[in-house]
Chain A
Amino acid sequence: MNRPLVCVVDDDDAVRLSIGLLVETLGFPVRCYRGAVEFLDDGEALETAHCLVLDVRMPGLSGLGLQDRLGRLGQRLPIIFVSAHGDVPMVARVMREGAFDFLQKPFNEQVLLDRVNEAVQVAAQRRREGAWWTEIQGRLDGLTTRERDVMDGMVSGRLNKQIAEDLGISIKTVEQHRARVMEKLQVESLAELVRLVIEVRYHAQ
């Protein structure tokens, strides 16, 4: 997998460039934008970015506006706000909206770099989890209706004979469905299957 992308949005040319160069020293690819709208226009970046370093006050769509927009798009990209104008109400507001951090300009660059690293890890973790759930969901979706019925019986702790009676099919057929479920969900044991299904249901909630 490619190294995670970090994006920087700041209308001040020097600040933008300096943050970009700084983040590059971490070894991450960096893309810089002079405004929130330019960032939104970069579909690829929206898809792959692991961290957004965002100025609060910019002409046009502000940093706060962009955070709001991303939230509505369901984008859970970690955002580190940087502002030369920080005050308590503003910090409270962006943090309430789920910002990863808020740094007052000028900042100790080590703090920024540490936070970028953490944000990238969090984003990678979220992506892995997201990918995992997508994978499991895909396997579950591969089950037929009858296989899913049998799986539900297994997870509820019912015996093959009881499942056969519940569904009005032969025990032999239940056994065949059972083997198919284990195979499709790539689990080795009944215990593993139960844990997986419970996790899925928990996650779905």
Chain B
Amino acid sequence: MSVAGLADDEERWRLALEVAGEGVWDWNLVSGRIYRSPLWSEMLGYTPDESADLKWGQLLHPDDRDEAHRKLADCLSGVAPDFVAEFRLRCRSGEYRWVASRARVVARDSGGRASRIVGVYRDVHDAHSLMDELQASERLWQFALEGHGDALWDWALESGEINVSQSFRAIIGLPDDRPLRGNDIWPARLHPDDVRAAVAAFSAHLAGVRPIAEVKFRLRTEDGAYRWVALRGKVMERSREGKPLRMIGTVRDVHDQHLGVEREMRQQQELARAARLIHVGEMASALAHELNQPLTALRNFSAVVLRRLDELGAAGERLREPLQLIAGQALRAGEIVHRVRCFVRRDSLLTAPIAINDAVRDVVRFMEFEARAHAVQWQLALAEPSLLVDGDQVQLEQVLSNLAKNAIDAMSEVDGERLLHISTRVGTDGMVEVAVSDSGGGLAETVRSDPFAPFVTTKQEGVGLGLAICRTIIENHGGRMWVERSTRQGTTFCLSLPQPAG
């Protein structure tokens, strides 16, 4: 290969590298001459003439100088095969830019001393500042999360090493900074009953089914007690093959909160059970009514025929017995229905004097969320001091919340103002009256004639028992329930309840 050919070849390589965004430098250690491709001066803002006289060592950021020089020395002496370094160089403007460089000794003299070194360099300033920002923001996040009660963990899945924040150690009661492995925490410290749920949450996330691993479990602390914690975690790095490498997340001590929630859930379950019992009872009651009507007709019709039988003379006698049996069976069916009803009915109402305003306000509180979700405003016109009624608070609140729910539903479609008005007063007969009004579009055609009829509903998911149950409850209290008004401007349901005796 001729010398000219070699030069051409070098030129081609140099161009190719420059197109790829890499500059080239070629340093002759014997002559001290250095060649740098134009990208170099462009990057740092110097003219080509200026750059010819600049020394690398003088441009290096003081903080990076020692390391860069050490690496270069290692490369020149042959301790390291390549020179690989990132460092900051001073620009013409006085600012520094991050540069990454990679070089190799290409020629040595007979004594083994390096005589020529060739390298490439690349501007990595933007990537570097991003890293700086990331580190800064990571610190910020850590600060924010810890302030919020979230402890942090950072788990290298390959090595098993896990970094946890001080607050994480505080939850467990770990006294020192001794290094931890993931296994030391999960599953080692998990409550045996919670392992299954935790494993499921982690594997669902690792498999990509859930965007975040999220699970609550009991964590054993150093003193042997268990505390409820809520964990959230996410794989932040995966290998090229998709294998999770690093997982980062938070842990929060939710022990007290969890116990509170558990207590609340138990109460809710009891309430729901009571409501279900009432529901079953009312269902039976409604069913009983619906069955008793045809049974009554059946009994009566057969009785009519029996009474008319004499008019047929002897010919009718053969019909008498079967007709009597029909009539008898109708009554028997009625008795069965009655027994079922008595069985499920809570015959003992737990009545006590109740301040009706308290019941109304309780219901407003229950329904607050629902009302807000539908942009419904409450308007209360309650007689003060509160009127007293003789009733079962739970059942009355069930009735009132049913009416409120219906009112909210009735207004969910209207464009105008959505007002839910509840008022109390004493009626002409001395009973306490409660009126629940909405500004909806009035009762639907299908239910207008008898809104209390069981098993008739306008709601897609309803069974049509709500108002039937309400009416039964109110009647069990010795009161009445009726529709005061239903126009296109809204509907008013009223109920009356007896005042406590004496």
B-contacting residues of A (Cβ < 8 Å)? 11-12, 14-15, 17-19, 21-22, 25, 57, 59-60, 62, 64, 82, 84-85, 87, 89-90, 92-93, 104-110
Contacts and interface: CB of A to CB of B under 8 A. Distances in A.
Contact of B294 (A14, A17, A21, A62): A14
A95 B450 CA distance: 26
Interface in B325-345: 327, 330-331, 333-334, 338
Contacts of B338: 104
Nearest to B498: A89
A18 B304 contact: yes
Contact of A15 (B300, B308, B482): B300
B450 to A, nearest CB: 3
Contacts, number: 87
B285 A105 contact: no
Interface string B295-327: 111111101100110000000000000000001
B475 A90 contact: yes
Interface of B: 285, 288-289, 292-301, 303-304, 307-308, 327, 330-331, 333-334, 338, 449-450, 452-453, 472, 475-478, 480, 482
A18 B453 contact: no
A11 B334 CA distance: 19
B297 A15 contact: yes
Nearest to B286: A85
Given A25-B304, A109-B303, A89 B296 contact: no
Nearest to A55: B293
Contacts of B482: 62
B475 A84 contact: no
B297 A85 contact: no
B475 A85 contact: yes
Contacts of B292: 84, 105-106
Given A59-B452, A85-B472, A85-B475, 9 more contacts: A12-B296, A15-B296, A60-B449, A62-B482, A89-B475, A105-B296, A106-B292, A106-B295, A106-B299
11 contacts: A15-B297, A18-B300, A22-B304, A57-B289, A59-B452, A59-B453, A62-B480, A62-B482, A85-B285, A93-B478, A106-B299
A109 B482 CA distance: 31
A107 B477 CA distance: 25
Contacts of B307: 22, 25
A82 B295 CA distance: 13
A21 B293 contact: no
A106 B475 contact: no
B282 to A, nearest CB: 11
A14 B297 contact: yes
Contact of B303 (A15, A22, A64, A89): A22
Contacts of A108: 299, 331
B418 to A, nearest CB: 28
A41 B294 CA distance: 27
Contacts of B285: 85
Given A25-B307, A84-B292, A105-B293, A19 B300 contact: yes
Contacts of A104: 338
A21 B304 contact: yes
Contacts of A109: 299-300, 303, 327
